Chains A and B, each alone.
Chain A
Amino acid sequence: MRYFFFALACVIVGVAQEINQIDLVPAQPENLGSWAQVAQPLRLYPTLSKSVRYEGPSLATNLFGEISLGDAQYVIMLGVSAQNEVALWVDFDGNLRLTSAEKLQPTRISGGLAWSFTLLARPKDGNPYEYPLSVLWPEGRGYVFLLGGCPLSGSFQGHKIALVDGDLNGVFGTKGDFLGVDVDGDGKIYADPDGHEYFGLSEAFTLGAKSFKVREISPDGRKISVEETSYVPPKVPLIPGSPAPDFSFRDFVSGQELSLKSFRGKVVLLDFWATWCPPCMASLPGLRQLYSQFHAQGFEIVGVSLDESADDLRQVLADQGISWPVAFEGKRWDNSLAALYRVYQIPTAYLLDRNGVIRYRDLEGEDLAKAVAELINEPAQTASSGASGLPELSAKAEPILEITVPKETGLRPGEESSLSLRITNASPYLAEEIRFSVQGLPAGIVSKTPDIFDLPAFGERTLSLTFWAQKLEPKDFPIPIKVRVEYHYCIAEACFQMVQEAETTLVFGASKASGFVLPWWVLILLAMGVLGTWLIWGRGLSAFSVFIFALALITLGFGVYLGQARQAQRIAAVLCTSCVGIEEPHPSQAELSSELRLAFAALPKASHLVLFYTPWCRACPYAKNLVTEIAQINPKISVEMVDADSERGRAEKAGVVVNGKAVVPAILIEETGKVLFGTNDLATRLLSALKEIP
Chain B
Amino acid sequence: MKLRHLRRGTQALGIFLGLLGITGIGMTHIIFPGLHCYACPLSVTICPIGLLQNLVIAGTAPFYLLGVLAVYGIFLGRGWCGWFCPFGTVNDLLSWRKVRYRKALSPLKFLVLLGTVVAAWRLADTWFCKLCPAASLTASLPYFAMGLTEPTTPFFIHMGTLAATVLGMIVVARFWCRYLCPMGAILALFNRASFFGLRLNSQKCTGCNVCQKACPMGIAPHLEGNSTNCIKCGECVSSCPQRALSLGFSLPGARGYAPLRFPWSHSRVN
* A interface list, Cβ under 8 A from B: 453, 461, 518-520, 522-523, 526, 530, 533-534, 537-545, 548-549, 551-560, 562, 564-569, 571-573, 575, 577-585, 616, 618, 658-661, 663, 677-678, 680
Closest chain A residue to B258 by CB distance? A537
Give bound CA distance, A565 to B31, whole Å: 9
Residues of B within 8 A of A549 (CB): 70-71, 74
- With contacts A568-B46, A580-B126 known, is A660 near B251, CB below 8 A? no
Contact A582 B74 (CB under 8 A): no
Report A646 CB to chain B, min CB distance, Å.
15
Whole-angstrom distance between the Cβ of A622 and the nearest chain B Cβ: 14
Q: List 10 A-B contacts (CB under 8 A).
A: A520-B61, A526-B70, A538-B253, A541-B251, A542-B251, A566-B29, A579-B39, A581-B126, A583-B152, A659-B24
Please give 19 more A-B residue pairs, beta carbons under 8 A apart, in addition to A530-B189, A577-B149, A581-B131. Answer: A523-B63, A523-B66, A539-B254, A542-B251, A549-B70, A555-B66, A556-B67, A559-B62, A562-B63, A562-B64, A572-B46, A573-B27, A575-B139, A579-B125, A579-B126, A580-B135, A581-B140, A584-B153, A659-B41
Contact A582 B31 (CB under 8 A): no
Which residues from B are CB-within-8-Å of A557? 67
A668 → chain B closest CB, angstroms? 15
> Which residues does chain B contribute within 8 Å of A520, judged by CB atoms?
61
For residue A244, give the distance in angstroms from its CB to the closest CB of chain B: 43
- Which 10 interchain pairs have the tightest Cβ spacing? A559-B64, A556-B67, A660-B26, A581-B130, A552-B70, A555-B67, A559-B63, A542-B253, A564-B64, A541-B253
**Within the assembled complex, what's the spacing in Å between the Cα atoms of A319 and B51?**
38
Q: Are the C-beta atoms of B154 and A582 separated by less than 8 Å?
A: yes
- Contact between chains at A534 and B260 (CB < 8 Å): yes
CA distance A581 to B143 in the complex (A): 12
Mark each residue of chain B from 5 to 32: 1 if its CB lies under 8 Å from any CB of chain A, else 0: 0000000000000000110111111010
B192 within 8 A of A: yes
Q: A584-B152, A618-B125 are in contact. Are A545 and B22 (CB under 8 A)?
A: no
- Which residue on chain B has the smallest CB distance to residue A579? B126
> B55 — which chain A residues lie within 8 A by C-beta?
571
If A523-B63, A552-B74 touch, whether A581 touches B29 (CB-CB below 8 Å) is: no
B233 CB to nearest A CB, Å:
21
- Bound-state CA distance A557–B46 (Å) is 18
- Distance (Å) between the CB of A655 and the closest chain B CB? 11
B71 & A556 in contact (Cβ 8 Å cutoff): yes
The answer to whether A571 touches B54 (Cβ under 8 A) is: yes
Check A663 against B148 for contact (C-beta < 8 Å). Answer: yes
Tell me if B44 is interfacial: C-beta within 8 Å of chain A: yes
One digit per residue, 1 when the CB lies within 8 angstroms of any chain A CB and 0 when it does not, for chain B 252-264 equals 1110001011000
Instruction: Determine if A556 and B68 form an interchain contact, defined as CB atoms under 8 angstroms apart.
Output: yes
Are A572 and B154 within 8 A (Cβ)? Answer: no
Give the chain B neighbours of A566 by CB distance below 8 A: 29
* Cβ-based interface call for B104 (8 A): no
Q: Which residue of A lies closest to B31 (CB)?
A: A568
| A582 and B143 contact, CB distance less than 8 A | yes
- Residue pair B254, A542 in contact (C-beta under 8 Å): yes
Question: Which residues of B come within 8 Å of A, CB atoms?
Answer: 21-22, 24-29, 31, 37-39, 41-47, 50-51, 54-55, 59-68, 70-71, 73-74, 125-126, 129-132, 135, 139-140, 143, 146, 148-150, 152-155, 157-158, 189-190, 192-195, 251-254, 258, 260-261, 269
Pair B253/A530 contact, Cβ less than 8 Å: no
Looking across the interface, which residue of chain B has its beta carbon closest to that of A678?
A: B149
Do A659 and B42 touch across chains, with their CB atoms under 8 A apart? Answer: yes
Number of residue pairs spanning A and B whose beta carbons lie under 8 angstroms apart: 207
The answer to whether A541 and B74 touch (CB under 8 A), given A582-B154, A582-B155, is no
CA distance in complex: A538, B255 (Å): 9
**Is A572 within 8 A of B189, CB to CB?**
no
A659 to B143, CA, bound (A): 12
* Complex CA–CA separation, A461 to B60 (angstroms): 9
Which single residue of chain A is at the shortest CB-CB distance from B64? A559
CA–CA, A486 and B157, complex, Å: 41
In the bound complex, residues from chain B placing their C-beta under 8 Å from that of A583 are 149, 152, 154
CB distance from A557 to the nearest CB of B (A): 7
Nearest Cβ on chain B to A329's Cβ, whole angstroms: 31
Taking the nearest CB of chain B, how far is it from the CB of A444, in angstroms? Answer: 31
Q: Are A582 and B59 in contact, CB atoms less than 8 angstroms apart?
A: no
Would you call A658 and B41 a contact (CB within 8 A)? Answer: yes
State how many angstroms separate the Cβ of B241 from the closest Cβ of chain A.
Answer: 28
Give the shortest distance, in Å, between B140 (CB) and chain A (any CB). 6
Give the distance in Å from the alpha carbon of A453 to the alpha carbon of B124 in the complex.
Answer: 11
Report the minimum CB–CB distance from A672 to chain B (whole Å). Answer: 17
> In the bound complex, do residue A581 and residue B129 qualify as a contact, i.e. CB atoms below 8 Å apart?
yes
B32 to A, closest residue via Cβ: A572
Q: Are B27 and A545 in contact (CB under 8 A)?
A: no
Closest Cβ of chain A to B227, distance in Å, is 11
A660 close to B253 (CB less than 8 A)? no
The reply to whether A559 and B67 form a contact with Cβ atoms under 8 Å apart is: yes
Compute how far the CA of A564 lies from the CA of B50 in the bound complex, rounded to whole angstroms. 15
Residues of B within 8 A of A522 (CB): 63
Contact A659 B22 (CB under 8 A): yes
B37, B190, B195: the one contacting A533 at CB < 8 Å is: B190
Q: How far is the CA of A567 from the CA of B132 in the complex (A)?
A: 23
Are the C-beta atoms of B193 and A533 separated by less than 8 Å? Answer: yes
Which residue from chain B places its CB closest to the CB of A532 in the assembled complex? B193
Question: Using Cβ atoms and an 8 Å threshold, which residues of chain A touch B29?
Answer: 565-566, 568-569
CA distance A557 to B57 in the complex (A): 22
A569: which B residues are within 8 A, CB to CB? Answer: 27-29, 46
* A578–B143 alpha-carbon span in the complex (Å): 13
Bound Cα distance A639, B132 (Å): 35
Chain A residues within an 8 Å CB radius of B258: 537-538, 541
Chain A residues near B73 (CB, 8 Å)?
Answer: 530, 552
Most buried by A among B21, B51, B67, B153: B67
Instruction: Check A565–B64 contact: CB distance below 8 A.
Output: yes
Residues of A within 8 A of B252 (CB): 533, 541-542, 545
Who on chain B is nearest to A569 by CB?
B29
- Which residues does chain A contribute within 8 Å of B143, judged by CB atoms? 582
Most chain A beta-carbon neighbours within 10 Å: one of B25, B61, B129: B61
Instruction: Report how far A663 CA is from B148 CA in the complex, Å.
Output: 9
Question: In the assembled complex, which residues on chain B have CB atoms less than 8 Å from the CB atom of A680?
Answer: 149-150, 152
Name the distance in Å between A685's Cβ and chain B's nearest Cβ.
Answer: 10
User: What residues on B are CB-neighbors of A519 within 8 Å?
Assistant: 63
A543–B254 CA distance with the chains assembled, in angstroms? 11
| A663, closest chain B residue (CB) | B148
Question: How many angstroms between the C-alpha atoms of A284 and B106 in the bound complex?
Answer: 52
Contacts of B64 in A (CB 8 A): 555-556, 558-560, 562, 564-565, 567-568
User: What separation, in Å, do the CA atoms of A527 and B43 have in the docked complex?
Assistant: 30
Given A659-B24, A660-B21, A660-B24, A581 and B158 touching (CB < 8 A)? Answer: yes
A538 to B45, CA, bound (A): 37
CB of A584 within 8 A of CB of B154, answer yes
Residues of B within 8 A of A553 (CB): 67, 71
Closest to A541 in B: B253
Residue of A nearest to B68 (CB): A556
Residue of A nearest to B124 (CB): A618
CB atoms of A580 and B39 under 8 A apart = yes
Which A residues are CB-close (under 8 A) to B126?
Answer: 579-581
Partner of B70, one of A540, A551, A661: A551
User: What is the bound-complex CA distance between A678 and B132, given in angstroms?
Assistant: 20
Q: Are B46 and A661 in contact (CB under 8 A)?
A: no
| Distance between Cα atoms of A368 and B65 in the complex (Å) | 55
Give the distance in Å from the alpha carbon of A562 to the alpha carbon of B38 in the complex. Answer: 22
Contacting pair A545 B154 (CB below 8 A): no
> Are A555 and B63 neighbours in the complex by a CB distance under 8 Å?
yes
